[in-house]
């Protein structure tokens, strides 16, 4: 396993990061088995583990915390906060009030005194970014987190956050965690260049494209859409939808390429993401030990220019065959009052 420096922090992390979203009731509910998978990953050279408070509403963090007992000092531990946790108001978002509470809760569930990388899971249009950065900076000063980053932020909000950090003398986002795969290359146009401009580390999620690059979903072959991710976002798997048909067409060509290279489709998919110069680490999220083993067998796969050119021919650079986490339209589009002047003020004369 190779290691890269995480966004100028001086922290070295493995090029594969163990994602833990599947370690919960809706994925792998066996806590002991999940711990064994984590231990295997560590034994195979992975030193970077990513989780989030909202995975299983805290269940996943508890699994990770138990698994890391006795090995905490050897692991770069990342978690995230933003999404709603429990009932009631003010239990989500990016406010100082919630971030301070969310970090304390994560520390307790993880059974640790510090978090190496704390990430803001999504943007929050209701909270001033200065409020968020100020709270995160204080947490670094207090020693509760070592560094902080963002996840699935658009390029313009990443840039804005850096400008605010500079103007206000606050700590800055050291990392971004965006979705990235052969089928979802949109971030190559702006997010990845912005991250390089600011020297940020990038850990990408969903390199297997919500399962489309596992080989499970193939053109003209029946697939079980009643379990797993299709039950969460069925519109992304219905083969009758033209966009999904395009994904399946691309998958067939990628399967052929993987065969020519002597690797599996998932191994090809992960190797593609870490070949980009802006990417620090790719998050692999196995549900079983076998899935972990299959992915790690491809860790040494090097894609030469000819292979990357063939991928570019199948899915051109900067192209999204689908958006794995299509954001809600911004208020600037949905709120008519923000794009229409009062009736009496619309004419030029």
**Residue 85 in tokens:** 């946790």
DSSP letter assigned to residue 184:
B
Contacts of residue 108, defined as CB under 8 A and 6 or more positions apart, other chains included, come to none
Contact indicator for 178, 191 with CB cutoff of 8 Å: yes
Contact indicator for 185, 157 with CB cutoff of 8 Å: no
Supply the Cα-derived Rg of the chain in whole angstroms: 21
Tell me the residue ranges of DSSP E strands in the chain.
Answer: 3-5, 12-14, 16-19, 48-50, 76-81, 115-120, 145-151, 175-177, 201-204, 281-284
**273 vs 180: CA distance, rounded Å:** 7
Supply the residues annotated as catalytic: 55
Opening angle at CA 226, ends 223 and 230, nearest 5: 80
**88 vs 308: CA distance, rounded Å:** 49
Give the DSSP H/E element, type plus range, for residue 255: helix 242-261
Q: How far is CA 92 from CA 82, 121, 212, in A?
A: 5, 10, 31
Closest by CA to 145, choosing from 191, 110, 176, 178, is 110
């Amino acid at each position: 396993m190779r290691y890269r420096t995480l966004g100028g922090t001086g922290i070295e992390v493995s090029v594969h990061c163990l994602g833990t979203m599947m370690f919960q009731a809706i994925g792998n509910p066996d806590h002991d088995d999940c711990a064994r998978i984590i231990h295997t990953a560590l034994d195979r050279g992975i030193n970077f583990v990513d989780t989030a408070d909202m995975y299983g509403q805290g269940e996943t963090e508890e699994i990770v915390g138990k698994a890391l007992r006795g090995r905490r000092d050897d692991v770069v531990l990342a978690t995230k906060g933003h999404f709603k946790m429990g009932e009631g108001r003010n239990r989500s978002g990016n406010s100082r009030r919630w971030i301070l509470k969310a970090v304390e809760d994560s520390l307790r569930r993880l059974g640790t005194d510090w978090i190496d990388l704390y990430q803001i899971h999504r943007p929050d249009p209701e909270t001033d970014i200065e409020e968020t950065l100020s709270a995160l900076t204080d947490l670094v000063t207090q020693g509760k987190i070592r560094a902080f980053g963002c996840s699935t932020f658009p390029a313009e909000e990443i840039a804005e956050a850096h400008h605010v950090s500079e103007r206000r003398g606050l700590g800055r986002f050291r990392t971004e965690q965006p979705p990235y795969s052969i089928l979802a290359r949109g971030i190559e146009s702006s997010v990845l260049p912005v991250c390089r401009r600011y020297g940020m580390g990038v850990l990408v999620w969903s390199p297997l494209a919500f399962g489309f690059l596992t080989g499970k979903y193939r053109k003209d072959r029946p697939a079980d859409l009643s379990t797993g991710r299709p039950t969460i976002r069925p519109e992304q798997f219905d083969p009758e939808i033209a966009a999904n048909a395009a994904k399946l067409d691309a998958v067939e060509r990628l399967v052929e390429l993987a065969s020519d290279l002597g690797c599996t489709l998932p191994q090809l998919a992960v190797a593609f993401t870490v070949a980009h110069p802006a990417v620090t680490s790719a998050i692999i999220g196995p549900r079983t030990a076998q899935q972990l083993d299959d992915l790690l067998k491809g860790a040494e796969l090097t894609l030469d220019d000819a292979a990357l050119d063939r991928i570019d021919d199948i899915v051109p650079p900067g192209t999204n065959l689908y958006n794995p986490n299509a954001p809600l339209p911004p208020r600037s589009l949905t709120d008519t009052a923000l794009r229409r002047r009062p009736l009496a003020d619309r004419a030029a004369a």
